[in-house]
Amino acid sequence: MDPKERSSDKAAQEVIQLMADEGIENAWDRLDAQKPQCGFGKQGVCCRICAMGPCRISKKAPLGICGATADTIAARNLVRMIAGGAAAHSDHGRDIAHTFKMAVDSDSSDYMIKDERKLSEVAAKYGIETKGKQMKQIAAELSDVVLGEFGRQSGTLVSAASYAPPARQKVWKQLGVTPRSIDREIVEIMHRTHIGVDSDYKNLVKQGLRACLSDGWGGSLIATELSDILFGSPQPVRFGSNLGVLDAEQVNIIVHGHEPTLSDVIVAVSQEDELVKLAKEKGAAGINIAGMCCTANEMLMRHGIPVAGNFLQQELAVMTGVVDLMAVDVQCIMPALGSLSGCFHTKLITTSPKCKIAGAEHIEFEEDRAVEIARGIIRLAIENFPKRKSKIKIPKVTEEGIAGFTTENTFYHLGGRFRGSYRPLNDAIICGRLRGAAGVVGCNNPKQVHDYGHVTMIKELIKNDVLVLSTGCSAIAAAKAGLMRPDAAAKYCGKGLAEICETIGIPPVLHVGSCVDNSRILTILANVVAEGGLGDDISDLPVAGAAPEWMSEKAVSIGMYFVASGVYTVIAEPLPVLGSPNLTRYLTDEIEKDIGGKWAFESDPVKAAKMMLEHIESKRDALGINEEKERKLYDMEDRRALTF
Ligand code: NFS
Ligand code: SF4
């Protein structure tokens, strides 16, 4: 076992070696134990939807018992992945919407509206008249409209119609994939993929498109917008990253999972005098909250809370021996944490009725007792501090970065303090100092060297003057590699991007949040289109998307809503569709004619970045902005706008 073959992150390598030395297993060991992985599953041609099966498609048996072909089976499996991913994001959005409603309805709630300006903006988007109304009334109306989006029985999703560019909506309408309601699209996938319903692979993909759009422009967008209103819109903030942010002298609490509802309150009360005093009585220097996975992103975006690591570091964090408590909510939490925390003093606390784990203690989170429950969890961590039993092994690896970029604030930075608009960004792209932009997002996957795909791809893109927007575990990988430091521009970027970053003081990789905040990338693209000069639709823009280490169903939904929004999207591990050449060809080629975006599979991050760069240049060519003479058409005002 060579730790360098498992992770490119020095801190992770150190702990992986330690685990090997002590005979404690992790995800990489379990991957080895699973090898060889099932070829039918990988190809997407195994079906166990009914009890005549399971069926698996081979040369010898090209049809399932019901007569389903490889095309049908692979397409059904794929859209069921989208249903899973869209459900996870959207249910997160629903929970935030319920918390929002509670905050609006009750005066004694532990939550309140922190960003009134965003409330007004979002309400206007949802068609609510705001003039002359009190904030409370606007919020009450907004919460009703938003909750209505989940179970809407007629019409189409309000947010998709108000946030997406008109040309994009036209494409959706023509193809018949305009999302109607969030829950409905997910339910319809489950219906259509039941034995004996939809067997036409293109028709199945169509429903997949509709469901993922209700995620990206619906459920995820709701999660982002309401979280900003409720917990405050992020502003640029400094933060530390990697396992070195854990502190041997302090009580360490890791908040892990996805929803900010509990973790935001834990962060808010963690420095209360009484709790700090209690920690000191137990011999600790203080209370240190650190994040893991997308909860980390929510907390660092809004509060600068340090991030201990991304998906593949959750087990490694426990291994340091200093995690006194890990509080988890939902999604991307490895069940392995249950038995692993049992080998240490670490208390693993599950908090959501939707997520219990064998070996964890369950303290159910109730939004109307948020502060009380958060304080209780912190007290538990403090009581646990003196019980540390193993040697303490914290890798001395940390990195600094800046996060907190949003659709609203980011391009105000690009415009400088006095010019809040997307004009400077569009102009920088038009004049070619910036070639375009890329969204690099998504998970870790032990099949790829941890963080290597993210970091290598991002470096390749910024070297070629492509601004990178990042979320999720990818953003954490970039931060740990120093790519979110402002001085990363001079070190890694091409001349054009470096100049822009240095003038404005931003890093070349902009952290725009958690995985539901991929909706920020959609709304950024919509703003770029609206600003003008780069075509009418997202599919005209010189942009590309990637998830170089994806593994979750959520990532499939995200990738698909980028494709459905007109973005060329490259992933490393292929979608499990290769057993159906027809479906593969459709997703990676023909679908572009229908929807404007398409998928590509490439496991080498350098090659993948090249494919993205080529795509960006081809879009620039199509826009005519790569031709010198085009620029002569600009008038003086345009010319002046070209300089920052
Ligand atoms: Ni998103 Fe992947 Fe999970 Fe966040 Fe990380 S693994 S799809 S990045 S934590 S959701
Ligand atoms: Fe087999 Fe058809 Fe049943 Fe799937 S739905 S398990 S292909 S018989």
For the stretch 91-135, pLDDT in tens is: 999 999 999 999 999 888 899 999 999 999 999 999 999 999 999
Q: Which of 273, 304, 305 is nearest to 286 (CA)?
A: 273
* Residue 629 pLDDT: 46
Flag whether pLDDT at 642 surpasses 60: no
Mean pLDDT of 581-596: 98
pLDDT (tens digit, 9 = 90+) per residue, 130-159? 999 999 999 999 999 999 999 999 999 999
β-partners of residue 547 are 571
Q: What is the pLDDT of residue 96?
A: 97
| From 46, 65, 76, mutation site for ligand 2 pocket: most ligand atoms within 8 A of C-beta | 65
Report pTM.
Answer: 0.96
Which of 195, 198, 204 for a ligand 2 pocket mutation test, highest count of atoms within 8 Å of Cβ? 195
pLDDT of residue 390: 76
Residue whose CA is at the smallest distance from ligand 2 atom 7: 64
User: Is the confidence at residue 393, as pLDDT, over 70?
Assistant: yes
Q: 640 pLDDT exceeds 60?
A: no
User: % helix / strand / coil in the chain, to the nearest 5?
Assistant: 55, 10, 35
Summarize the confidence of residues 564-577 as an average pLDDT: 98
If we measure between CA atoms, which residue out of 80, 224, 77, 229 comes closest to residue 140? 229
- Closest residue to atom 9 of ligand 1, CA basis: 293
The answer for residues whose C-beta is within 8 angstroms of residue 92's C-beta and 6 or more apart is: 219, 220, 223, 258, 259, 330, 331, 516
pLDDT of res. 637? 59
DSSP per position, 8-61 = S-HHHHHHHHHHHHHT---HHHHHHHHPSPPHHHHHT-EE-SSTT--EE--SS-
Phi, psi of 543 (to 5 degrees): -140, 160
Phi, psi angle pair for 347, to nearest 5°: -90, 120
243-387: CATH, from 3.30.300.20, 3.40.50.2300, 3.40.50.2030, 3.40.50.720: 3.40.50.2030
* Residue list, ligand 1 pocket, CB within 6 Å: 293-294, 310-311, 331-332, 442-443, 472-473, 515, 552, 554-555
Measure 72 CA to ligand 2 centroid, in angstroms.
Answer: 10
Atom number in ligand 1 closest to CA 551: 2
With a 6 Å cutoff on the Cβ, whether 546 touches ligand 2 is: no
What class, spelled out in words, does domain 70-231 have in CATH? mainly alpha
Q: 406-623 belongs to which CATH class?
A: alpha beta
How does the average pLDDT of the chain come out, rounded?
95
Distance of CA 348 to the CA centre of its chain: 24
Ligand 2 within 6 A of CB of 237: no
Name the DSSP class of 192.
H
Structure confidence at residue 421 (pLDDT): 86
* SS3 of residue 577 by DSSP: coil
The per-residue pLDDT for 438 is: 98
Ligand lying closest to the C-alpha of residue 51: 2
How far is Cα 139 from Cα 284, in angstroms, rounded to an integer?
A: 42
Burial 528-546 (b: 16+ CB within 10 A, else e): bbebebbbebbbbbbbbbb
Alpha-helix residue ranges (DSSP H) falling in 565-635: 581-585, 591-595, 605-623, 628-631
Give the C-alpha separation, 305 to 307, whole Å.
Answer: 7
Residues 443, 228: Cα–Cα separation, whole Å: 23
pLDDT-above-70 percentage for the chain: 97
Matching CATH topology for 70-231 and 243-387? Answer: no
Structure confidence at residue 630 (pLDDT): 45
Nearest-angstrom CA–CA distance, 370 and 375: 9
What atom of ligand 2 comes closest to residue 196's alpha carbon? 5
Residue type at 543 in one-letter notation: V
How far apart, in whole angstroms, are the C-alpha atoms of residue 531 and residue 303? 31
Asked whether 74 lines ligand 2 (CB < 6 A), one says no
Give the DSSP per-residue string, 117-162: HHHHHHHHHTT---TT--HHHHHHHHHHHHHHHHH--SS--HHHHH
- How close is the Cα of 601 to the center of ligand 2, in Å? 28
* Alpha helices in 481-538, H assignment, sequence order: 488-492, 495-504, 518-531
Residue 638 has pLDDT above 60, yes or no: no
Helix (H, G, I), strand (E, B) or coil at 249: coil
174 pLDDT tier (thresholds 50, 70, 90): very high
How far lies 638's CA from each of 423, 428, 533, 586, in Å? 10, 11, 11, 41
- Pick from 290, 344, 305: which is nearest to 321 by CA? 344
How close is the Cα of 129 to the center of ligand 1, in Å?
36
3-state SS track over 363-419: CCCCHHHHHHHHHHHHHHHHHHHHHCCCCCCCCCCCEEEEECCCCCCHHHHHCCCCC
Average pLDDT of the segment spanning 6-31: 98
* Mean pLDDT, rounded, for 252-265: 97
Atom of ligand 1 nearest to the CA of 547: 7
Confidence at residue 505, expressed as pLDDT on a 0 to 100 scale = 87
At residue 302, the 3 state secondary structure works out as helix
What whole-number distance in Å separates Cα of residue 318 and Cα of residue 597? 41
Vertex 111 angle, CA 108 and 113, to 5°: 110
Q: Whose CA is nearest to atom 10 of ligand 1?
A: 515
Tens digit of each residue's pLDDT (9 = 90 or more) over 411-449: 777 766 556 789 989 999 999 999 999 999 999 999 999
285-308 pLDDT tens trace: 999 999 999 999 999 999 999 999
With 50 as the cut, is the pLDDT of residue 644 above it?
no
Q: Sheet containing 237-241: give its strands across.
A: 361-362, 347-350, 323-328, 251-256, 287-292, 307-309, 237-241, 399-403
Closest ligand 1 atom to Cα of 472: 8
Q: What tokens does 557 get?
A: 């939904």
What pLDDT, on the 0 to 100 scale, is given for residue 418?
A: 57
Across the range 162-168, mean pLDDT stands at: 98
CA distance 313 to 430: 40
Burial label for 314, CB within 10 Å (0-12, 13-18, 19+), is: buried
Q: List the domain boundaries for the chain.
A: 3-56, 70-231, 243-387, 406-623
Mutate to test the pocket of ligand 2, among 45, 46, 52, 580 (most ligand atoms within 8 A of CB): 52
Res 358: pLDDT: 97
Select from 55, 199, 201 the residue to mutate for testing ligand 2; criterion: most ligand atoms less than 8 Å from CB.
Answer: 55
Q: How far apart (Å, rounded) are the C-alpha atoms in residues 496 and 466?
A: 9
Residue 48 Cβ contacting ligand 2 at under 6 Å: yes
Closest ligand to residue 220's CA: 1
Please tell me if the CB atom of residue 57 comes closer than 6 angstroms to any atom of ligand 2: no
Out of 40, 50, 204, give the residue to mutate to test ligand 2, the one with the largest number of ligand atoms within 8 Å of its CB: 50
Phi then psi dihedrals of residue 352, to 5 deg:
-110, 140
For residue 464, pLDDT over 60 is answered with yes
Q: Whose CA is nearest to atom 2 of ligand 1?
A: 443
pLDDT band at 628 (very low <50, low <70, confident <90, very high): low
If you average pLDDT over residues 515-530, what whole number do you get?
97
Ligand 2 atom having least distance to the Cα of 48: 6
Q: Is 52 in the pocket of ligand 2 (CB under 6 A)?
A: yes
pLDDT tens sequence across 194-222: 999 999 999 999 999 999 999 999 999 99
Distance 641 CA to ligand 1 centre (A): 38
Q: Which two tokens stand for residue 609?
A: 């970045």
Question: Any idea which ligand is nearest the CA of 474?
Answer: 1
